[in-house]
């Protein structure tokens, strides 16, 4: 009885749904090129406007690939014999820094670029090929345009690519992993590297538009060592990525073979200063009185390195104060910090208003440059910038048994959110950070020697101490792409090694 009662309502529902589908099909056919949108006019009244709907009229030879891949395309439903363009939504990235101190975070700007131009044939068709542009990876939209109006669209995915060089070498060998097509989206922006299942650090390509170069050194015993890269926007690798919202993204693994011997790069050294991302922190323009010129023999140097200051156009036969500007304080003590000045010396100009002064680079903060003022009774006549670079002052002892306490002193640490800290790895395992601000650029610490007999690596990487934008976590992590994508002041990596003996 219950079954017979349900038959009539069910049949009625089926008939009604069929009629609705027919009606919907008719409407969709009539409005295939139109879509309704609602807006509110100046009087607060709701009004309907009709906009043309983009066609699905672009066919690609493939829907995903890598930077510089060649892709063929076919387009239909165009205005016959009229010019046509294929455009792409390109993305540019940069770091935003405020007040020479604070890291706001990454910023991305979108713009359309023309991939190909041509003319539709007499039937409204157009075919050709394009090369996937260098830049960020991720999901992109291609549009076909005529008369500066978008007609159709299609999606295309650019996957990241990874190459490791070299594949073998002795302990201390510099390993470079080159990448193209890293993403800008939250999930694909940050990549994390592990070495023998130990966390090493962060990989980014924000200011280099998805092209990056990470550097580590070969650590461990002779034999095979595993290097893995995974995405991880929260500061660590997303391990079960196949169950993530993006299971189709690459997850590169490499094996590096350590051979007998020791690489030349095992020697303790500070690397060459790299180029800062996004042109670095923009320093205020120096002010010079009319006719005054100020020059330093070098614009940067390590603590106690000899320097020579020359200047001309100053007041004649007048004592000039050389005023050194620096920052002092602490961001964690609660007492705050601010700019302070010290008089480096007083020099009298000659009868022409010229001076020459030899001095040593002060024992002070590194990072962004210090300003040196040439003043007379508080009036500044000229200025110059001098940057203090990191240097290794002490590393002792250089060898010993397991358990040896190694004492290390580095000068030239900075004070801002992008250069006040170094991040330490031991045999490519991240162990912690060092802060230089409270100690005015001095980093004195110790490390306990561990591991098998042989050389063990102690590496200090630049990184970001703090950032305001929290969408992705880049803070308190060794930035392995420091040589191409570290913001602010182009801090170099510091390479150290200790030999464990019996």
Beta strands at 174-180 and 212-217: parallel, antiparallel or unpaired: antiparallel
Tokens 């890598």 found at: 66
Rounded Cα distance between 381 and 245, Å, is 61
Tokens matching residue 122: 């007499």
pLDDT score for 488: 85
Mean pLDDT is lowest, of 5-19, 189-203, 214-228, 311-325, for: 5-19
**Strand order from edge to edge, sheet including 168-171:** 168-171, 253-262, 223-231, 191-195, 198-203
pLDDT score for 272: 94
pLDDT score for 472: 87
Rounded Cα distance between 476 and 321, Å, is 40
Contact 137, 181 (CB under 8 A): yes
Query: pLDDT digit string (tens) for 4-37?
Result: 333 334 334 333 444 343 343 343 333 334 444 3
Single out the residue of 244, 210, 227 nearest to residue 173, CA to CA: 227
pLDDT score for 28: 37
**pLDDT above 70: percentage of residues in the chain:** 88
Rounded Cα distance between 124 and 12, Å, is 46
Query: pLDDT digit string (tens) for 330-350?
Result: 666 566 678 899 999 999 999
Single out the residue of 258, 201, 248 nearest to residue 226, CA to CA: 258
Read off the pLDDT of each residue in 464-491 and give the average, rounded to a whole number. 91
Single out the residue of 368, 344, 350 nearest to residue 282, CA to CA: 368
Rounded Cα distance between 271 and 395, Å, is 16
Tokens 């940069």 found at: 94
pLDDT score for 334: 61
Mean pLDDT is lowest, of 21-35, 109-123, 485-499, for: 21-35
Query: pLDDT digit string (tens) for 61-79?
Result: 999 999 999 999 999 999 9
Split at pLDDT 50, 70, 90, the class of 2 is: very low
Split at pLDDT 50, 70, 90, the class of 237 is: confident
Phi-psi region of 32 (alpha: psi -120 to 50; beta: other; left: phi over 0): alpha
Tokens matching residue 205: 């390509």
Contact 442, 211 (CB under 8 A): no
Q: What is the pTM of this model?
A: 0.85
pLDDT score for 13: 36
pLDDT score for 112: 95
Query: pLDDT digit string (tens) for 250-293?
Result: 899 999 999 999 999 999 999 999 988 887 888 999 999 999 99
pLDDT score for 282: 87
Higher pLDDT, 280 or 430: 430
Read off the pLDDT of each residue in 429-458 and give the average, rounded to a whole number. 96
pLDDT score for 239: 87
Beta strands at 253-262 and 198-203: parallel, antiparallel or unpaired: unpaired
Whether residue 42 has pLDDT greater than 60: no
**pLDDT above 90: percentage of residues in the chain:** 77
How many other CB atoms are found less than 10 A from the CB of residue 468?
11
Average pLDDT, the chain: 89
Tokens matching residue 322: 């050389």
Rounded Cα distance between 418 and 368, Å, is 10
Q: Is the peptide bond between 177 and the residue preceding it cis, with omega within 30 degrees of 0?
A: no
Contact 215, 178 (CB under 8 A): no
Contact 104, 165 (CB under 8 A): no
Q: Which DSSP category does 285 fall into?
A: P
Rounded Cα distance between 37 and 220, Å, is 63
Rounded Cα distance between 486 and 114, Å, is 30
Higher pLDDT, 489 or 354: 354
CA distances from 348 to 206, 318, 323, 344 (A): 49, 5, 14, 14
pLDDT score for 52: 64
CA dihedral 414→415→417→418, nearest 10 degrees, is -10
Contact 433, 475 (CB under 8 A): no
């Amino acid at each position: 009885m219950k079954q017979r009662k349900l038959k009539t309502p069910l049949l009625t529902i089926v008939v009604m749904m069929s009629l609705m589908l027919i009606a919907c099909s008719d409407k969709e056919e009539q409005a295939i090129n139109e879509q309704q949108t609602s807006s509110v006019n100046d009087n607060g009244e709701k009004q309907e406007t009709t906009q043309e709907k983009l066609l699905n009229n672009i066919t690609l030879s493939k829907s995903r690939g890598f930077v510089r891949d060649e892709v063929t395309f076919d387009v239909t439903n165009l205005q016959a014999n009229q010019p046509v363009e294929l455009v792409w939504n390109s993305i540019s990235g940069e770091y935003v820094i405020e007040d020479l101190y604070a890291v706001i975070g990454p910023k991305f700007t979108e713009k359309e670029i023309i991939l190909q131009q041509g003319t539709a044939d007499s039937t409204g068709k157009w075919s050709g090929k394009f090369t996937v542009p260098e830049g960020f990876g991720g999901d992109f939209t291609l549009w076909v345009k005529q008369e500066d109006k978008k007609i159709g669209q299609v999606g295309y995915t650019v996957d990241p690519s990874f190459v490791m060089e070299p594949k073998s070498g002795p302990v201390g060998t510099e390993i470079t992993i080159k990448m193209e097509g890293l993403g800008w989206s939250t999930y694909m922006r940050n990549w994390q590297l592990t070495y023998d299942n130990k966390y090493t650090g962060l990989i980014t390509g924000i200011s280099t538009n998805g092209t990056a170069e990470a550097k580590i050194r070969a650590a461990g015993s002779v034999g095979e060592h595993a290097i893995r890269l995974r995405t991880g926007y929260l500061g660590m690798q997303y391990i079960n990525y196949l169950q993530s919202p993006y299971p189709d993204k690459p997850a590169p693994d490499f094996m590096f073979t350590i051979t007998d011997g020791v690489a030349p790069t095992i020697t303790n050294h500070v690397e060459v200063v790299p180029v800062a991302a996004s042109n670095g922190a923009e320093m205020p323009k120096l002010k010079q009185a009319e006719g005054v010129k100020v020059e330093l023999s070098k614009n940067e140097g390590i603590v106690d390195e000899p320097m020579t200051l020359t200047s001309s156009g100053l007041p004649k036969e007048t004592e000039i104060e050389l005023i050194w500007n620096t920052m002092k304080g602490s961001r964690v003590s609660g007492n705050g910090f601010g700019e302070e000045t010290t008089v480096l010396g007083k020099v009298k100009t000659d009868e022409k208003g010229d001076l020459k002064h030899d001095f040593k680079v002060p024992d002070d903060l590194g990072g962004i440059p210090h300003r040196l003022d040439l003043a007379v009774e508080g009036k500044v006549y000229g200025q110059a910038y001098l940057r203090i670079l990191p240097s290794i002052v002490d590393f002792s002892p250089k060898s010993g048994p397991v358990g040896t306490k190694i004492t290390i002193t580095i000068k030239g640490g900075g004070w801002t959110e992008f250069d006040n800290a170094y991040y330490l790895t031991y045999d490519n395992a991240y162990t912690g950070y060092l802060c230089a601000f409270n100690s005015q650029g001095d980093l004195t610490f110790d490390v306990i020697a561990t591991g098998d007999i042989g050389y063990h690596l102690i590496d200090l990487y630049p990184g970001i101490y703090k950032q305001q934008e929290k969408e992705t976590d880049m803070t308190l992590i060794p930035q392995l792409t420091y040589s191409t994508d570290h913001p602010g002041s182009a801090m170099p990596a510091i390479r150290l090694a200790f030999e464990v003996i019996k």
